[in-house]
Amino acid sequence: MTGAAVAGPTQAEPPAAPGPEAGPLAALGIRRRSFLTWTARITALLALPATLRPQVAQAVEAAVASGERPTLVWLEFQDCTGDTESFLRARNPSVSQVILDLVSVDYQETIMAGAGEAAEASKAAAIARGGHIIVVEGSVPLGAGGGYCVIGGRSAEQILTEAVKGAAAVINVGTCSAYGGLPAAAPNPTQAVAVPDVVQGVPMVNLPGCPANVDNITATLVHYLTFGQLPPTDEQGRPLFAYGERIHDNCPKRGHFDAGQFALAFGDEGHRKGWCLYKLGCKGPSTWHNCSTQKWNGGTSWPIQAGAPCVGCSEPGFWDTMTPMYARLPDVTGVGQDLSAEKIGLGLVGATAVGATVHGVVKVARTRRQLAAEAPAVPPPPPPLPPTERDATDDQTPAGAR
């Protein structure tokens, strides 16, 4: 579907607006053809109808022409800068420039020229103006009074709480800011929490992933520029355009799954043939993300295509709920040692069987002894269960119950 939507409009429609090399985009050195290709791609990625492509193009052009660019403040807390790295690897270099020109990135620790007091002043000014977009990368540690992540003498929690005042939207890029991610994994020594656990009441969207895919970041920004609001989300706060479908349901190896063809070990015959990675612990069946259609690094490849099982990095509770990475079922933890479901199940069934056998042997032996002992007292033929005995036992029952 994505391919058709991309190919259709760009080839069939001639450029709608002025001459091919006029307008504000030409001034930035962007060819109209590549711009329209890009807008078609973004429109398809956002799962919008192709008829909305001109609206997307106009919104982006208008934003560039007006010069009124929304301010973007990119905050990094407990992170690895992976999402920043991902953001800087936009698919189309010239169009990534568009995006960087669409929004005024007033604070981004990794790429900004300013440092120290100047950088802090730039951020303070952007926040004071209001209407800015906050992008958060990394989780927020609450432990030790916030002492695990301090920038410019203030804790991550303080910085975040101040920054969202007057903000138009908060975009959580990466699993750490969206759900806590790796820093929040057990035993979570810094008491790391997700951004939604610290701030509420601001339009917010989660773009989880380790890292978040730049295509989804730019598409979210374009959606905001085009419609003035964040894209619709699922129960986990993730945009449906990017996280609406399960990886498994759009996986190129899905045919091998349904067929029953599985790689059993890395490098075995099935693995070399590109069979399903299910038995190697693939979490594609547990993960909602558009990796299988959008791919990574400009559509070059993505983990499952490269033969690595999905680890479910964009799900809430990653890492704890998605490990072990190379086994299908998690172990049962917290019982002294990690036990597999099979060990527990076979243990329970085996123990019950042994217990029942022992009980049965004892019962049969006692019944035989009882019958033998009673045999002389009762005239032949001896009844198997003498009624006098039975009645006497029953009569005592209510007393026993009390």
Partner 1 sequence: MTDMHPSVRRPAANREVVVGTECVTPVKVWQPWIRLLHWTLVGTVVVLSLTGFYIADPVVLGGDGGGLMATVRFVHVLAGWMLITVLVGRLYLAFAGNPWARWPQLLPVWRERRAQLWHTVRYYAFLEKHPAEVVGHNPMAGLAYVGLFGMLAVQAVTGIALVAVTDRDGWEWAATGWVFQLLAVPEVRLLHHLVMWFTWTFVVFHVYAATLVDRVERGGEISSMVGGWKMMPTGRIEEELSRDAARRRRRRR
CB of 293 to partner 1, least distance (A): 16
Cα–Cα dist 151/377, whole Å: 94
**Residue 329 in contact with partner 1, rule: CB under 8 A:** yes
Nearer to partner 1, 146 or 180 (CB): 180
Using DSSP's 3-state secondary structure scheme, residue 261 falls into coil
Q: Binding partner 1 by CB under 8 A: which of 27, 362, 372, 375?
A: 362
Name residue 307's beta-bridge partners. none
Cis, bond preceding 232 (omega within 30 deg of 0): no
Nearer to partner 1, 9 or 309 (CB): 309
Q: In this structure, are strands 204-207 and 169-173 parallel, antiparallel, or unpaired?
A: parallel
Nearer to partner 1, 32 or 256 (CB): 256
Number of residues forming the site for partner 1 (CB under 8 A):
62
- The half-sphere exposure of 275 on its side-chain side, counting CA atoms within 13 A, is 20
Nearer to partner 1, 65 or 364 (CB): 364
Distant-in-sequence, close-in-space partners of 48: CB < 8 Å, separation ≥ 6: 56, 241
**Residue 359 in contact with partner 1, rule: CB under 8 A:** yes
Return the DSSP state at 334.
S
**Residue 244 in contact with partner 1, rule: CB under 8 A:** yes
**Residue 353 in contact with partner 1, rule: CB under 8 A:** yes
Q: Binding partner 1 by CB under 8 A: which of 113, 235, 334, 336?
A: 235
**Residue 383 in contact with partner 1, rule: CB under 8 A:** yes
**Residue 366 in contact with partner 1, rule: CB under 8 A:** yes
Nearer to partner 1, 128 or 364 (CB): 364
- The half-sphere exposure of 273 on its side-chain side, counting CA atoms within 13 A, is 11
Q: Binding partner 1 by CB under 8 A: which of 21, 85, 338, 389?
A: 389
Residue 328, classified by CB atoms within 10 Å of its CB into exposed (0-12), middle (13-18) or buried (19+), is: middle
Cα–Cα dist 76/140, whole Å: 9
SS (H, E, C) 46-113: CCCCHHHHHHHHHHHHHHHHHCCCCEEEEEECECCCHHHHHHCCCCCHHHHHHHHHHCEEEEECCCCC
Q: Binding partner 1 by CB under 8 A: which of 349, 361, 372, 375?
A: 349
Cα 322 to its chain centre, rounded Å, is 10
Nearer to partner 1, 22 or 259 (CB): 259
| Window contacting partner 1 (CB under 8 A); options: 50-58, 87-95, 168-176, 361-369 | 361-369
Cα–Cα dist 397/49, whole Å: 76
| 8 Å CB contact between 280 and 263 | yes
**Residue 348 in contact with partner 1, rule: CB under 8 A:** yes
Nearer to partner 1, 33 or 273 (CB): 273
Cα–Cα dist 274/282, whole Å: 13
CB of 47 to partner 1, least distance (A): 13
**Residue 271 in contact with partner 1, rule: CB under 8 A:** no
Nearer to partner 1, 22 or 329 (CB): 329
CB of 122 to partner 1, least distance (A): 40
| Dihedrals phi, psi of 152, to nearest 5 degrees | 60, 30
User: Which positions touch partner 1 (CB under 8 A)?
Assistant: 234-235, 244, 246, 249, 256-262, 264, 270, 278-279, 283, 285-288, 312, 315-317, 321-322, 328-330, 332, 341, 344-346, 348-349, 352-353, 356, 359-360, 362-364, 366-367, 370, 383-390, 393-394, 397-398, 400-401
